[in-house]
Amino acid sequence: MKKSVISIFIFAVNVMLLVSACGNESDLSPTTTSGTTTSTTTTTANATTSLEIFKKIYGATEVYLEGNYAIIKTNGLPDHKSPYYKDTQWATAKYEAYNGTNTKFALNPNRIASQSLVFKIPINPTKASSTSATPLGPIGVSLNGVPFFNQYAAMNAPLTNEVNGFDQYNGHPQQQGQYHYHVEPTYLTAQKGKDALLGFLLDGFPVYGPLEKGKTVTNSDLDGFHGHTHATTEYPNGIYHYHITDADPYINGNGFYGTAGTVSK
């Protein structure tokens, strides 16, 4: 009896070792990063996102409203160049060798592939009474249709090594070729401005860039979920919103501030 318990334990340890030995980011199943935490933040103004605002996601193949949700469909292909377009059907137009500033840059073995992502995002985002951690894989969608990922690599490891695979626009593809941003999408901030609306997380709260009223936003300006509440260009009556900063956790902190919608792949 005791012996079989021990052998099950050894088996489990071996499985864990095997999985972690895969090394490369799996980003596949939406596993939860940690347990639920209860938010103690004070109430915020309710705001509704109009179809017009959702249509700022110019990279989407379709954007429409369905009940209390916006449906956003995207193929996830970045509209900017990338070294990860090498050897793909888009290479002629979109391949660009790495020309960024990271001397440790190393191209990962993955190449960009077309996706069929469907985001279902609440148009009336509300603070969750019990907030949930963000999963691995897409946690939101940026203006060009490329998904946002959280601050972890596979097995919820920190991004320490992964950052060296980020291309000159701060993105990279995972094993299935799904290109994504864990940090500031510099192509978008160059095009739209560092203070611009850059996308939405699955809970429907908007994501803004690292600049606000001419000041760089730091993690200390934000709560544990990586946001705060005030009026913005798109929401003159005020809304809770996330900011992307240049330090870990970059886009989101302890999970979704609101009740998350869904994403299907």
Rule CB under 5 A: which residues touch Zn ion? 212
User: For residue 32, what are the CA distances in angstroms to 36, 52, 68, 136?
Assistant: 9, 32, 25, 7
Which residue number, 96 or 212, has a Cβ lying nearer to Zn ion?
212
Listed residue (124, 127, 116, 117) closest to 65, CA to CA: 124
Listed residue (68, 108, 66) closest to 86, CA to CA: 108
The answer for residues whose C-beta is within 8 angstroms of residue 19's C-beta and 6 or more apart is 155
Query: What is d(CA 115, CA 104) in angstroms, rounded to the nearest whole number?
Result: 29
Which residue number, 63 or 258, has a Cβ lying nearer to Zn ion?
258
Q: Is the peptide bond before 83 cis (omega within 30 degrees of 0)?
A: no
Judge contact between 111 and 85, C-beta under 8 A. yes
Kindly state the smallest distance separating residue 7's Cβ from Zn ion, in Å.
Answer: 36
Kindly state the smallest distance separating residue 208's Cβ from Zn ion, in Å.
Answer: 6
Kindly state the smallest distance separating residue 11's Cβ from Zn ion, in Å.
Answer: 30
Kindly state the smallest distance separating residue 179's Cβ from Zn ion, in Å.
Answer: 9
Which residue number, 63 or 180, has a Cβ lying nearer to Zn ion?
180
Which residue number, 212 or 248, has a Cβ lying nearer to Zn ion?
212
